[in-house]
């Protein structure tokens, strides 16, 4: 399996600082375009796998962990997870940096209105943003309902505010949109959604 030959742009390719050999094949770069095909549901599945394995990465800052970056890139590229597990630390840090750069929040959430990086189509309608203001009106009972919903999905979280699925559930409750609206959002929106749902102003 050879790395895809793609124009070397910071957005679409990781160019390794030095060649990497895996199972007899030498790689100098990895195509990142598959990241654009991932959704928040993929991030939820990866976080759940990390939790099931009792990885430290499943706690507060999942998205900054090496394990999360490995699983995201493996899913995006189709390379086996072992490709990244035996990668030298210097190259692994490049992979981790690429994931964090991809998740960088380019669009601000103002007055609890979360703007999407690009128009989002759901059930035949296009959305440019979503108003999360009513998250502030949710109650303790709503939080319990969200926790029960997570339990039904087999998700146990050491910190609900850090859990991606929990954010989707609360956003769904507050907006009236189905959970699928949020789980179907592009992967790139996951950090923005998590921060928007847990905005400190909701707890003042």
- Per-residue pLDDT, 110: 82
Q: Model-level pTM?
A: 0.88
Work out whether the CA dihedral 29, 98, 40, 166 comes out positive or negative: positive
- Identify the pLDDT of residue 17: 87
Residues 10, 71: Cα–Cα separation, whole Å: 20
Q: Which two tokens stand for residue 198?
A: 């847990």
- Integer CA distances (angstroms), 168 to 12, 30, 151, in order: 28, 31, 14
Residues of the chain where predicted confidence (pLDDT) is lower than 50:
1-10
Structure tokens at 127: 């959305």
Distance between CA 139 and CA 6 in Å, rounded? Answer: 49
pLDDT at 59: 58
Residue 104's pLDDT is: 81
Per residue in 80-94, pLDDT (tens digit) is 999 999 999 999 999
């Amino acid at each position: 399996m050879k790395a895809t030959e793609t124009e070397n742009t910071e957005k679409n390719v990781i160019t390794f600082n030095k060649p990497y050999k895996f199972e007899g094949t030498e790689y100098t770069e990895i195509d990142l375009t598959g990241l654009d095909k991932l959704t928040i549901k993929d991030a939820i599945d990866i976080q759940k796998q990390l939790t099931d394995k009792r990885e430290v990465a499943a706690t507060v800052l999942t998205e900054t962990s090496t394990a999360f970056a490995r699983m995201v890139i493996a899913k995006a590229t189709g390379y086996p997870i072992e490709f990244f597990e035996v990668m030298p630390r210097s190259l692994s840090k490049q992979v981790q940096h690429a994931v964090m750069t991809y998740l960088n929040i380019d669009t601000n959430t103002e007055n609890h209105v979360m703007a999407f990086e690009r128009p989002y189509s759901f059930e035949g309608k296009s959305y440019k943003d979503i108003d999360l203001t009513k998250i502030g009106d949710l109650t303790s009972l709503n939080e319990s309902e969200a926790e029960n919903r997570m339990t039904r999905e087999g998700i146990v979280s050491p910190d609900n505010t850090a859990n991606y699925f929990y954010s989707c559930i609360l956003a769904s409750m507050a907006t009236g949109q189905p959970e699928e609206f949020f789980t179907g959002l592009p992967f790139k929106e996951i950090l923005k959604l998590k921060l928007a749902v847990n905005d400190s102003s909701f707890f003042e």
